[in-house]
Amino acid sequence: MRPTLLLLALGLAIGAAADTRRPIREARSDNGAFCLRIDPGRPGRPTGRCEATLEGRGDGGGPRRWSRPLVNEVGPMQVFVRNDGRYVVTLDECGYGGARHALVIYGPQGELLRHFLLTDLLAKSDWRHVQLRGRELVWLRGARCTFDTAAEHFEIELRWGRTIRIDLKTLAVVAEGRAAAAGDDVPPAIAEALFALDAADEAGEAGAASRPTGSELGTLTPEEEAHARAVQAELAGEAAQRASERDGAGDETVVAEPEPAHPHGAPGEMTGDAGQPEPASGGTDAGPTPAVAGPEAAELTGIAVPAPDPAEKTDYVRWLNSFADVTGPNAAALYEQAFAQFVPFAGNGDLLWAALRGESAALAAPEIRAWIAANAGALEAFRAAGLQDACGWTYHSSDGTLLGVLLPNLANIRSVARAELVDGRALAQQGQAAAAAERYLSVAAAGRHVGSRMTLIENLVGASLQAQASEALLDLQSDPAAEAQLDYAALAREARAAYQPLRGAAEVIQGERAAFLDTAQRLWSRDPATGAWHVDRAQVDGLLRMTSGESEAPEDEVRRAAFAVELERTGWEATVAAGNEVYDRLTRALQQP
């Protein structure tokens, strides 16, 4: 099991309340002759910006007219391509609306012709119609944008009746639409969004491109995984410190043990006081008392995490596998068949990335076509798996710990899904819209299967797969040539089956709680001479070496000793209580609408 960052869970809670609008990824000219494909800004991109490629889809030119970075940090919210491909107009910035890159014009070769601020476009009377939502300025809701080819204008008919006209020859706002507002005419709150960006936000402009989106979840690098493990391991110490401080103030924390609230919540033999250590013989240490998630969390989620037991060691791998029981056909065997037959792509990574975006030249490349042909059997098994209602993989751990659980199926399913998406893109360009839709829905179904499991990383990968499938389906339906081929009633039925809701984040976080409790219970042992419970220094050393790559260097030895001393000072019950409090708060936050 890949340990996941507490910060990642917090980010998920914040993201649930955030605006879910995403930057546009594809725009076609009204006549369908040109298509602009947009790749939003992402981590690792050298420019830190989004990139766009204009393709000619008719008789007027080759497959690619131009390709360049756009001025946007993440991506524009609206894009318009003129029927002759000579002009591309982008509107607004994802997350900022009109506060950034309100209107940008690109020329025949992709050259940047003009960049308008919102104050260049709006008149004094317009500002009362502009809305501020967080840091986003909303001014285009209900607007109608068109190219007037005869007049060589780009026009924005605002919802309140006024029309803004941009002369594409002079690259200026024409007289009747020219903004007459001075800076003093802009309402203060809107002016702050436009002009008074604080230093942190300015510094974060490029960083906006590095915020991960729901459609992209990369496999953790060894360094990222080590950091994730370290955060999870240190959670015990940080949470315990808070509990220790409360104890010092005379506020003793008692965590009640709930009754199981769900038929799959916890196997009976794992609940209650089974395996509870007896009091120490000296009478000065009553011994650690197992604690579980608070009753509120169990009631909210229907999942009761079993008690940790430092004496007998609660089998959390077994508990996690109780959620993998499948009644009826199990898609796991078909996925395994697909994985066994799958041939990884051995060509250029940029070529594969271009094919995933649907670029014609990449999809026609011999390497891509040969790769898809070689994986025909694997993709057939993948689609068959997607038709099954459920998928139950068993978690395995070489050492019995949740930290020792590996998730090899994640990398496999993402690789095969990538090939399925490329196959769908190729079929769409060949005019086989129904077959392309079938491929995209199989990826969505795989996302449902993975995202219904009990670890946060699986849940996020499932959401990512469904997002990628959704984008491909939307691209397909926006192609005029596909409209005559698609049976939309049948497509809707199939989509409802593929896009079943994933397991809720508040439920999934209980799997992360179990990982914390499993880690904690292994750090304590009973002194055979006195019967008292103490932190097991060897276990602490082994954990920190595994999770953070610590060495025998003196500074690492000091850090391990300090961590063990802090745990000893805090005590078992306070450590577990404080950790449960963290996950109780996360549960409540993730249950919010």
Q: Please choose, from the candidates 260, 262, 254, the residue with its C-alpha nearest in 3D space to the C-alpha of residue 306.
A: 260
Tokens of 402: 């949740």
Question: For the residues 508-533, what does the mean pLDDT come to?
Answer: 88
Separation CA 552–CA 131 (nearest Å):
58
Residues 6+ apart with CB under 8 A from 512: 4, 6, 9, 455, 456, 583
Give the CA angle between residues 223, 226, 232 to the nearest 5°: 140
60 pLDDT higher than 80: no
Q: Please choose, from the candidates 111, 116, 117, 96, the residue with its C-alpha nearest in 3D space to the C-alpha of residue 41.
A: 96
Separation CA 439–CA 423 (nearest Å):
7
* HEC per residue, 443-475: HHHHHHHHHCCCCHHHHHHHHHHHHHHHHHHHH
Tokens of 203: 């510094």
pLDDT band for position 284 (cuts 50, 70, 90): very low
Q: For residues 464 and 410, state if they share a domain.
A: yes
Whether 286 is in a domain gets the answer yes
Q: Between these two residues, 477 and 193, which has the higher pLDDT value?
A: 477
What pLDDT was estimated at residue 552?
67
Question: For the residues 302-329, what does the mean pLDDT come to?
Answer: 88
pLDDT band for position 259 (cuts 50, 70, 90): very low
Q: For residues 587 and 531, state if they share a domain.
A: yes
Residue 265, domain extent: 222-313+522-591
Q: For residues 150 and 245, state if they share a domain.
A: no
Lowest mean per-residue pLDDT among 359-368, 403-412, 433-442, 564-573: 564-573
Contact status, residue 345 vs residue 371, Cβ threshold 8 Å = yes
Given CA atoms 240, 242, 245, 251 in this order, what sign does their dihedral have?
negative
Q: What does the DSSP 8-state code read for residue 498? A: H
Whether 4 is in a domain gets the answer no
What pLDDT was estimated at residue 257?
34
What pLDDT was estimated at residue 258?
34
Whether 537 is in a domain gets the answer yes
Q: For residues 481 and 409, state if they share a domain.
A: yes
Whether 559 is in a domain gets the answer yes
What pLDDT was estimated at residue 199?
33
Tokens of 239: 């949470």
Average pLDDT, the chain: 78
Q: For residues 167 and 287, state if they share a domain.
A: no
| Distances in whole angstroms, Cα of residue 88 to Cα of each of 82, 106, 140, 562 | 6, 5, 17, 60
Separation CA 19–CA 352 (nearest Å):
31
Question: For the residues 391-406, what does the mean pLDDT come to?
Answer: 90
Tokens of 158: 């605002």
Contact status, residue 229 vs residue 3, Cβ threshold 8 Å = yes
pLDDT band for position 362 (cuts 50, 70, 90): very high
Q: For residues 374 and 350, state if they share a domain.
A: yes
Q: For residues 563 and 447, state if they share a domain.
A: no
| First vs last C-alpha separation in the chain | 29
Whether 306 is in a domain gets the answer yes
Q: How large a percentage of the chain has pLDDT more than 70?
A: 74
| Helical (H) or strand (E) element with 246 | helix 222-248
Q: Between these two residues, 208 and 114, which has the higher pLDDT value?
A: 114
Tokens of 215: 């459609």
Tokens of 81: 């391509």
Q: For residues 69 and 175, state if they share a domain.
A: yes
What pLDDT was estimated at residue 561?
81
Quick: pLDDT tens for 550-570.
Answer: 566 676 777 778 788 888 877
Separation CA 102–CA 95 (nearest Å):
12
520 pLDDT higher than 80: yes
Q: How large a percentage of the chain has pLDDT more than 90?
A: 49
Question: For the residues 1-7, what does the mean pLDDT come to?
Answer: 41
Q: For residues 79 and 179, state if they share a domain.
A: yes
